[in-house]
Structures are given as C-alpha cells and as structure tokens.
Structure 1
Amino acid sequence: MTQTLTVRRSAFTVALTLPVLATALLALPPGTAAAAAPASGSAIEWGPCAGMSGLDPRQQCGTVPVPLDHADPSGPRIDLAVSRIASGKPAARRGTLLIIPGGPGNAGLHEPSRRGRQLPQSVRDAYDVVSFDPRGTGRSAPVSCGLAHEDLAMERLRPWPAADGSIDANTATARRLADACQAGDTAVLRTMSTRNEARDIDRLRQALGERKLSAWGVSYGTYAGAVYAQMFPHRTDRWVLDSNDDPDPARVARGWLANYAVGVEDSFPDFADFAADPGNPDRLAARPGDVRPLFLALAARLDREPIPWPGANPAQLNGNVLRQTLLDSLYTKQRFPALARLIAAARDGGPLPAPNTPPDEAMQNTVAASLATICNDVDAWSGEGQAVYEKDVADSRARHPLTAGMPVNVMPCAFWDLGPSEPATRITPHGPSNVLMIQNERDVATPLAGARELRDALGDRARMVVVDSVGHAAYVDNGNACGDAKVTRFLLTGERPARDVYCAA
C-alpha cells in the first residue's frame, strides 16, 4: 500500500543579506586576466601531514580558522584543514592553484599529492598546489549522522525503487536518514552549503596571502568554483572548471541526480563496445547492440533471484546493486573489465569477485557532509507529495530503464529541516572573462547537456573544451593531448581558445 509522503519544510527563512555579486566588474577580453600578485606571506603554519600515508614527501598541512556562521564573524570558529605542495621554482611561481574538491562531501587534503602528480611540471613550477577539506569533511570539523551499517549501502543511499517500481521503501529510508542527521549535534551540519564553502575559500585565500586565486574545480568543485566566481569575481585569476555541473538555481543537486539518467545513457555505448570487442578476454556478447538487453535481462533476473555476496553491503547481488555498480563503473573505462567480469559471473553462475566495500567510518562522514550540502543548498526537494514522485519515477523507468527511475526518486532532503538559509546562487555572465571549462563528451555524473547549461550561464566569461572521451574528469585524466594542452596553456599564459572547441580522440 502506498504511504503518504508528508513533507516537512524549513521552519525559518533568512533574508539574503549579501548580493549575488560581491562587486560589479567589467569583463576583460579573453586571455587578459590580471596576474595574481606573489603571496605577501602566508598566515598558515605549515607542517607535516600527520597520520596520512602515500603523500608526496613535499606536501605540507596546516589549518585556517573560519567563522562557524559567516553572518557572525566574531562568533565561534572552526578550523579548515589545508594542504599544499609549494612550487619548487620560486622564480617561476606566479600564484596559488586551488584544487576544489568534488562530492559534495569529498575531503581534499590529499589532492596536492594525488592530482598534483598528474599536473605537468611546468604547472607545478608555476603554482603552489593547494587543497582543503571543506567544512564538515575529513579533518575540518567532520560531521556524522550515525547511520546504521545497512543505511550506508549505495544501493540504499541512492533511491533505487523496488523491482515493481514502488517507492514506499525509499520514502521510509529518506525520512529515517533525515531524522538521524537532525537528531544529533547540528551546529556544523546546518552551516554547510555551497555559498558558505565559497566564503570559506575566500578566507583561505586571505590566509594564503594571495590577492587572487587560480583554481581547478572538478565535478561538484565546478559548481563550488562557479559560485565563488560569482560571489568574489575580483578574487579569481585563472579558473578551470572540469566535468561541469548544471547550475540551475531552482534545482541544484536535484538536477544533478536527475542527470544520471542522461549520463548513463550517454556512457553505456562505450561499455557495450568494450564488452563486444573480439579481442577482449572479458567479452560478453558478439555485438555491441546485444549488451544492453543482456544487462537489462540480468538485472531483472537478479530482482527476482538475488545472489549471496559475502562482504558486500548489502550482502547480496540484486538488480539494484547491479544497476548501481554499472553507474559507478561508467565513471572511468578502467572499471569496465571488473564490471564485465561481475556480469559474466552473475549470468553464468560462477563465483562473484570480491566486493569493494568502503569502510563505514569513511562513509558516515561522506554521507552526512553530502546530504547537508545538497539539502541546505536549495528547497526544491520539498513541497511534492508521494504521488508526484511516483509519476516521475514511472516515467523515468519507461524512458531510461538502465537507471530504473532512481534519478528522480525521493531523497532525505524532502524531510530536511535545517535549511536552506539563503537562496541558491544564480550564475551570470557578469564578471571577468577568465573561465576555461573542460568536459568529456560522455560523462555519467556530469553529462554534456548539464555542462552546456553552465556554459550558457557564464556567457562570454567562459570558453569550453569538449573532449571525445568517456568518463568523469577530463584534464590530465584520460590522455587527450589536445584538451590537456589547452588547459595547461591557459594556466601558464592565460590564453584561452578564441571560441569553444572540440578535441577528437
């Protein structure tokens, strides 16, 4: 029986006191963004990154205090954990390149070592590479909702409907997760939003002693980066947005979730080509066109007859776990072989591969930080009864069977009482012309259609490089020399393409 979805709305609305634009600036012609002044002296006490392994030995860590509530700058503070690898050539240094973490909910303290190693030496010489754990994540006043082990399963966190399309269980889970997050200490949780992350970044800029920052934002980092560039345009130097989120201020993350339906459809043909390649030892079918019906039939069979999968969460391979594994595997073609082997084992009755299940402790923080940010950013999740969600799910299941209605289903934000405390940011063409976007043509998480929405919103402030590739993350991530060269040139010289460009494989 369908249960009633009673939506609780925020009990307060705080008037927006800061304008969307921190200041009005005339747009500069492409390639003429003013160079960042050399750091006047960092206020951060840099030292070893205690308790972290696998880092570049040059990486240092520190903390930056920021207001818990930016509307009360003299009130309580929290510490942001910050990391850097300083330029090894002071004479070549031109400023700081901030890596803005994705997610939302991802920590970034390891990024100077992880992504920094991917950067060309010329870029590492030109910049101190810096990143941070956003508030509520990692070592920056981490939050937790204290969820049960079963509620940390991706099959449950992403609202996959039941095999018959029912969303009753999703509604109950969404309410339970929202209640759990709001039952404990919410002092930090209620302050987490993209606009507050932008304000934290500006405090970080000041602590670094920089008049302007350059940035490389990936995935959610593109939205956080776009919001910062809208709120503090005069503090941006060379701004790279990689794998771009749709900035629709009415939907924000609700739109990103919905875009998975498009992203999976865009990316699946690449997996089908791989799975039908005659030279592939993990080949599944004779022709690419046979892979989709094979996958859909197997998912339907697993809906009816799950297979035990010890060590996984849940401890079985059912249809939704397979669908979630497909979605996760389309993030990078390096995961295609493991997905093909899992499909073959499930189809043929062979032993399943060992599951890759993240530890609960890490998931607790990531889930809480992600939910707080996406729920506090916008109120679009609220105000709809269960019948609306049921119709949307049914329509999506018919149009996009690979994602089975999940992308438009109910989330904990429908029962969230902590925010939003201010309207979402509308990205506009007003500001310096110093943004370079790079985007894979086939991206499961941030599809090209959404990236084009951000490109249109930025107008002449941006140029976009589209790369003929599949996967999530483009710059120095998939071996496209054309795309990599255009971003590297921009970071080193400020020169952007005169118009949007397409880089073939």
Structure 2
Amino acid sequence: MSIPQRTLTAAAAAVLAATVLGTLTAAPASAADQRHGRHDGLAWTDCPSKPGPPHDPAQRCAALAVPLDYQDPDGEQLTLTVSRIATAKPGLRQGVLLIIPGGPGEDGLDRPSRAVQQLPQEVKDRFDLVGFDPRGVGASTPVSCGLDHDDLAPVRLRPWPAPDGSIDGNLALAHRFADACARNGGPVLRSISTANEARDIDRVRRALGERRISAWGTSYGSYAGAVYATMFARNTDRIVLDSNDDPDPSKVGRNWLAAYGQGVEDRFPDFARWAAAPGNPDRVADTPEEVRPLFLDLAARLDRAPLPWPGADPAELNGNVLRGAMLQSLYADARFPDLARLMLAGLGRRPLPAPDVMPPQAEPVAQNHIAASAATLCNDVSWPADPAAYAKDVAADRAARPLTAGMPVNVMPCAFWPFAPAEPPVRVTDRGPANVLLAQNLRDVATPYTGARRLAAAFGERARMVTVDSGGHDVYRANGNACGDAVVTDFLVTGRRPAEDVSCPAG
C-alpha cells in the first residue's frame, strides 16, 4: 500500500489485532467511578481484551454514540469507544487529559494504560487519563477497504519508486487502492476527517461532563489536537502537542509524506555517528562520514541484485526493503541496531536476521489501520492527479535526497480518491486562549523541526515551544531529556507556560 504509516510494523499490528474484535462487557462501576460521584453519561465497563501487555486494571471503557454526519446530528450514529483511568487522588484532580493517538489511523484505547506507566506522579494525580479509538478504528466502528493481501506487504507501506525511478507500479497500486476503498469503504470511510475527529473529541468532552478538556497529542495527534484547539478553542484547558505536523491547509497530508525527505536528512547523521562508534558491536564503518555513502552504495547494489530472504515478504532484501528499514530505525536510537545488522547482512558480514512477518490474525487490524489512515489523508484535502507531475517530482527528489529515493513526493491513492473532501481543511490560527505548548525534537524523522516551526507560527502567541536537542520521534517522557520533560510537566501541573520558547540541551 502507499500510506505513510509512521509506526505500524507487523509486530505492532499483532499487538493491535483483537482491538477490532473486542467487545465491551457491562460491569459495575469501579470504586474510582463511585468516589468521583460524577454523572458523565457514560456507562463504564470492562475494556476489550487484546494480545500483548494487558491494560491497567484501573482502565475502564465506555461506548459513545456520535453522528456519522455532523450536518445531520440526529441521523445515523456510529460508536466511539472511550477509555479512562481515573486519578487516585480526586482531591487534587484538575480535570481530564485526553490522549490523542497518531497515525493517522492508530488506535488509542489503551493509551491511558501506557501513559500511567510513563507520566510523572504529579500529572497522574491531577488528571483522569482518557483515551479513545478514533472513528473507523479498532473498537470504535471500524472500516476496511478490503485490499489484496499482497498489497499489505511492508515494503508497500510507503510509495517507494522502482529501482530505475519508475512510478508505474506506484500508480497501479494507487488506482487499486482507491478502487477498493470506493467498493468497500462505505459511509464511515467517507466520514473520516481531522475536522470530524475534532468534533468527536468535543463529544467525548461533553459526555465526560467537562467544561474544558486538556489534551496530549503526538505525531498526527498533534495536528488533530491543533485542529481541536482551533475549532473548539474555548473548550480547551492545557494543550500539549508533541512531535508536530506542518499544518499548511493547502497540503496537510501531502506535507506529512513529504516531511520524510527533510526528516531523514536531519536524522541520518545521528545514526552515522552511532554506527561508526568504536566499541559498537554493530559498527558498520570506521568514521561517520563513511556511513552515508556505504548505505547508498548498498541500497543501489541491492536494487540491482537483491538477496534471497526466505520467509520475508517480499522474500528478498532489496534496496527498498533496506530503505524502509532505515526509515523505521530512525524513529528511535534503540532501533539503530536493526538497521546496522541489516546493512551488515547486506554487506555479507552477518547472516540475514529472522524476518518480521505479519501473523494471519493481524491482517484485519492492518486492513483497518490502512483504510483509516488513507481516509484521513485523502478526505482532508484534494491531491494532484497528474501522473506526469508525480514522475517529474520523483526524479528531482531522487537527485536531491537520494536517501529517500523519491518516496516522499510520490503518488498516493489520494490522487485517484473517489470522494471529494466534504469541507476545506481547518486553518490553525492565533485566535483563542494562550494555552498551547509544543514539544519538538530537533532531528525528528517523521515530523521535522521545520514543520513544528510552521505550526508555532500559525498559533502565534497562543503557543510556546520547547525544543530538545535530540533525535527520533516523540518527546515528552520518551527520550529521557530531563529539561524538556520538566517544562511539559510544569505546564500540565500548574497551567503556566514558559514566558518564552525554551531550548533544551541534549541529555
């Protein structure tokens, strides 16, 4: 497929699998619910079970009806599934911290269980942690385009051109993808957009009985949070936007794919330094300066002569598989060994690792995630449809940024999407309370610093930004930077933003 999925891997899909299939089981109100004594209009029950780490026993779930079409609020409804871990200290409670998932198309139901392990105690004391599966995703009313199994191969998750730069295969896949969504997506697929996600978030706020709501949105969730803070500015309390998307309303999702071109250039030197460090058991070169040409040469060699890789999908290590592994590895320093070991295998110094294969039970989740992701990208804004223009852009980008080989500007299913956007993209503005804090790494592969600066400019005096001298994706409580974490924590606990933007050194 041709969707820029920022975090989905076969393993991640397996972890998500039962979310689509789970059901809510009615149960008595928890002690925490009873202590709060609030009537929020939601019937809190046991949460759906799923493989992987169990959710926190304090996490409860509820089903909320929201309009399929907000122009017809009393018409057909769909289900939004919401989760909550209530604060154990109601006397300190400030309100609700809604965790907005990324993707687009990622599930968010178990985010409170992850956050309760991640957040400092003073934040957990003051907020109920609330998550949700967005419309079309997981335990909410789900969607699928029913793609062919072969189109779910990891190497197709992003539109890598052919080794010679041809985009004919990408064009064919984009047409197949769009046609499948037209046949199988139905009205829920057509209803998915960032503006509707913002409206759904406000329905969650109302159902929780909150006059204002705080939110923490990461990656695509930063854009969804920015749109919510624009459309429902007076309903917001403390808004933290982490790893920020460029909000340019003329492009939106097209910018998010294109961001990889700049993001890889910003981030690859971090990998190069690590991969040449003395004493590194996965060292690939003697100096950082040697790593980039070594990678480019190896990718070109694998374009010409792929290595057989039994059990993988596709069953070979080719140049685009290597490039895809590079993109994934740059999300976090902890993933650097994965790329280094694959490079060493391609160079003949190591055997190929065991392939990461999507188990059969994960395919429905992949179908769901991919469809919801495509719907958001394609329903938010119109995309150019001229194949010749894409071919020209790819050729220029391959020359300018060979690490990403033209992928960031290549064709997407949105070019042939059968549905026109129902409304223009939301333009983020400076109108509203000064209650937004952006958190940003300087070298983020998926949401580069340049895009974060544009979001900050759009918000104007509504926002401050804390910038961390770090690489990878995700900032707050994600990379061990005490300075950046302290700024965000203080804002959440006290509601006070820094007087000026803050720059945090590495470490």
Do both share a fold (TM > 0.5)? yes
Match of 1:408 in 2: 409
Q: How does 1:36-435 map to 2 (within 5 A)?
A: 41-52=39-50, 53-348=53-348, 350-358=350-358, 359-379=362-382, 381-382=383-384, 384-435=385-436
CA distance in 1, matches of 2:393, 2:368: 30
CA distance in 2, matches of 1:397, 1:39: 60
* TM-superposed deviation, 1:40: 5.0
Whether the aligned pair in 1 keeps the contact of 2:107 and 2:137 (CA below 8 Å) is: yes
CA distance in 2, matches of 1:39, 1:355: 51
CA distance in 2, matches of 1:40, 1:215: 20
Amino acid in structure 1 at the alignment position of 2:47? C
Q: Deviations over 1:5-50 (max 9, x none)?
A: xxxxxxxxxxxxxxxxxxxxxxxxxxxxxxxxx9953211112113
Match of 1:487 in 2: 488
Q: Deviations over 1:166-217 (max 9, x none)?
A: 1111101100111011112411000000000000000000001100000000
Whether the aligned pair in 1 keeps the contact of 2:87 and 2:129 (CA below 8 Å) is: yes
Match of 2:439 in 1: 438
TM-score by length of 1: 0.91
* TM-superposed deviation, 1:355: 2.2
In structure 2, stretches of 5+ residues that fail to align are 1-35
Whether the aligned pair in 2 keeps the contact of 1:150 and 1:314 (CA below 8 Å) is: no
Match of 1:451 in 2: 452
Amino acid in structure 1 at the alignment position of 2:219? S
* TM-superposed deviation, 1:248: 0.3
- Between the aligned residues of both structures, percent identity stands at 63
Q: Confirm or deny that 1:473 pairs with 2:471.
A: no
CA distance in 2, matches of 1:133, 1:431: 27
* TM-superposed deviation, 1:357: 3.3
Q: Deviations over 1:413-455 (max 9, x none)?
A: 0000123110000111111000000000100000000000000
* TM-superposed deviation, 1:156: 1.6
CA distance in 2, matches of 1:186, 1:418: 11
Whether the aligned pair in 2 keeps the contact of 1:198 and 1:228 (CA below 8 Å) is: yes
Q: Is the helix fraction higher in 1 or 2? A: 2
Alignment size in residue pairs: 466
CA distance in 2, matches of 1:449, 1:321: 27
CA distance in 2, matches of 1:153, 1:243: 27
SS at match of 1:348: coil
SS at match of 2:239: strand
CA distance in 2, matches of 1:304, 1:39: 67
TM-score by length of 2: 0.90
Alpha-carbon RMSD across the aligned residues, in angstroms, is 1.2
Q: Which 10-residue stretch deviates more, 348-357 or 43-52?
A: 348-357
Amino acid in structure 2 at the alignment position of 1:398? A
Match of 1:33 in 2: none
Amino acid in structure 2 at the alignment position of 1:102? G
CA distance in 1, matches of 2:402, 2:203: 45
CA distance in 2, matches of 1:107, 1:173: 25
* TM-superposed deviation, 1:267: 0.4
Match of 2:4 in 1: none
Higher relative contact order (CA 8 A, sep 6+): 1
SS at match of 1:320: helix
CA distance in 1, matches of 2:346, 2:231: 50
Whether the aligned pair in 1 keeps the contact of 2:109 and 2:133 (CA below 8 Å) is: yes
CA distance in 1, matches of 2:204, 2:427: 23
Whether the aligned pair in 2 keeps the contact of 1:39 and 1:210 (CA below 8 Å) is: no
* TM-superposed deviation, 1:356: 2.3
